[in-house]
């Protein structure tokens, strides 16, 4: 994302949409567990950090509903997007005052968000203990049921879509990044595992080669890594990142 940001003289907006989705979605939630159900529920409940009108503000998770498609894979169909917490918190704090708009929304197959919201409206987001004879909360029960009934599968698709809009050389330019990676069934590894592990390996290699020289202290990957090198190596490791640019 910072790869695009640094190519502009000024940036108006950065819109990030991403997720790991099941290749074979199972109704009604059309989702699978690719990481901890505790973390998943936290993403659906905690406050979300975004930038609006150049200022840092906090939104409710599950709000900001919209639908979108991937240009590179329209066959995936319409996807829904909504706010979830955590994914862009540090990025928003880094760029506050430097962009007018920045937000991250999670992608799901259409219908998922409304079902989750219905459970929360019925109280399954509550930390209240269900009964005096137990220490289990309604939220704990919901997490247990997700862990029990959602498919545990490595057969997934990692997708990301990032749109930037800004000014370069006096012209308004739009740039779009898309990532689409399917799991490798022969390797018994999910697409999400591949993207995450290859990113960690690439970062370690760049660090070992002293490509992060001049960077000190505690930094986020977005600000510390050499962007061109990072994208080049991710592509070499099988994570295709498509970049398109056009005049607005």
Q: Which of 125, 141, 114, 120 is nearest to 31 (CA)?
A: 114
**Phi/psi zone of residue 67: left (φ > 0), alpha (ψ -120 to 50 degrees), beta?**
beta
Residue 203 has pLDDT above 70, yes or no: yes
Residue 132 scores a pLDDT above 80: no
pLDDT, tens only, 148-183: 999 988 999 999 999 999 999 999 999 999 999 999
Average pLDDT, the chain: 93
User: Which domains can be identified in the chain, with CATH numbers?
Assistant: 2-187+239-247 (3.30.360.10)
Using the structure block, give the residue that is written with the tokens 């190519």: 7
The answer to whether residue 200 scores a pLDDT higher than 80 is yes
42-97 pLDDT tens trace: 999 999 999 999 999 999 999 999 999 999 899 998 999 999 998 888 899 999 99
> Contact, 144 vs 119, CB < 8 A?
no
């Amino acid at each position: 994302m910072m790869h695009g940001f640094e190519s502009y003289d000024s940036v108006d907006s950065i819109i990030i949409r991403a997720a790991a989705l099941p290749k074979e979605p199972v109704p009604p939630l059309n989702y699978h567990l690719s990481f901890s159900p505790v973390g998943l529920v936290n993403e659906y409940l905690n406050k979300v950090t975004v930038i609006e009108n150049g200022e840092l503000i906090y939104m409710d998770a599950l709000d900001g509903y919209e639908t979108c498609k991937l240009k590179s894979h329209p066959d995936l169909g319409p996807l829904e997007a909504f706010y979830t917490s955590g994914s862009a918190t540090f990025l928003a704090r880094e760029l506050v005052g430097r962009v007018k708009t920045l937000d991250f929304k999670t992608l799901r197959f259409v219908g998922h968000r409304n079902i989750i919201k219905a459970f929360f409206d019925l109280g399954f987001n509550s930390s209240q203990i269900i009964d005096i004879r137990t220490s289990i909360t309604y939220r704990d029960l919901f997490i247990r049921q997700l862990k029990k009934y959602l498919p545990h599968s490595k057969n997934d698709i990692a997708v990301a879509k990032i749109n930037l809009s800004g000014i370069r050389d006096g012209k308004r330019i739009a740039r779009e990044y898309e990532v689409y990676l399917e799991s490798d069934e022969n390797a018994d590894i999910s697409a999400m595992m591949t993207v995450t592990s290859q990113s960690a390996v690439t970062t370690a290699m760049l660090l070992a080669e002293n490509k992060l020289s001049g960077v000190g202290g505690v930094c986020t990957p977005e600000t510390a890594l050499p962007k061109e090198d990072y994208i080049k190596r991710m592509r070499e490791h099988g994570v295709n990142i498509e970049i398109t640019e056009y005049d607005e």
